[in-house]
Structure 1
Amino acid sequence: MPEPDPSTSSGHRLERAILDLLDRRAPKTICPSDVAREVGTADGWRALMQPVRDAAQRLVQRGEVEVTQKGEVVDLPTVKGPVRIRRPER
């Protein structure tokens, strides 16, 4: 599935879904799959995993979220394995 353009409703919708889910679960972290399951269908959420990660990266670039692995902030484009998304620690 191609990356949603952030200027489209799909890209914006995923970014908004990440932020909304973080607000509801504050101060906890979320998994990209939590967002994909919330936005996608029961059978189709896996196809949203990369678009959710792409949306998270756009939010990282704007300073709105951090991506962590084992509690440490990581570079999403280069990290392998499961990650979590959180609001930046202040």
Structure 2
Amino acid sequence: MSTDPAEAAILSTLAARGPSKSISYAEAAKALAGNPPDDSWHKSMHPIRLAAQRLARAGQIEILRKGKPIDPDNLHGVLRLRLKEQPE
């Protein structure tokens, strides 16, 4: 598992959600902010975005827009994250 707290928050939230399921950036930011998250989770959105880009470039997750994977360097609109399916 990653040593970066934002990457770890994304990966652990995705693992808890289950295979083929996605999460929002806000869900990952709230996980990074702690439990129960207060309004400070908004400050975690930028680190989550950067971590998501790193994880997508490394092939660990997919960033989705309208349910389809997108280029991690071209982020806009409503986005979700999911674990990348590993070939068997």
Question: Normalization by structure 1: what TM-score?
Answer: 0.80
Q: Distance in 1 between matches of 2:75 and 2:7?
A: 20
| Alignment gaps of 5+ in structure 2 | none
Give the aligned partner of residue 24 of structure 1. Answer: 16
The alpha-carbon deviation at position 77 of structure 1 amounts to: 3.0
> How many residues get paired?
81
Greater percentage in strand: 2
How do 1:51-70 residues align onto structure 2 when only pairs under 5 Å count? 51-70=47-66
| Alignment gaps of 5+ in structure 1 | 1-8
The alpha-carbon deviation at position 69 of structure 1 amounts to: 0.7
Q: Distance in 1 between matches of 2:6 and 2:58?
A: 15
How do 1:1-90 residues align onto structure 2 when only pairs under 5 Å count? 12-27=4-19, 28-40=21-33, 41-89=37-85, 90=87
Q: Percent identity?
A: 36
Runs of 4+ in 1 over 3 A off after TM superposition: none
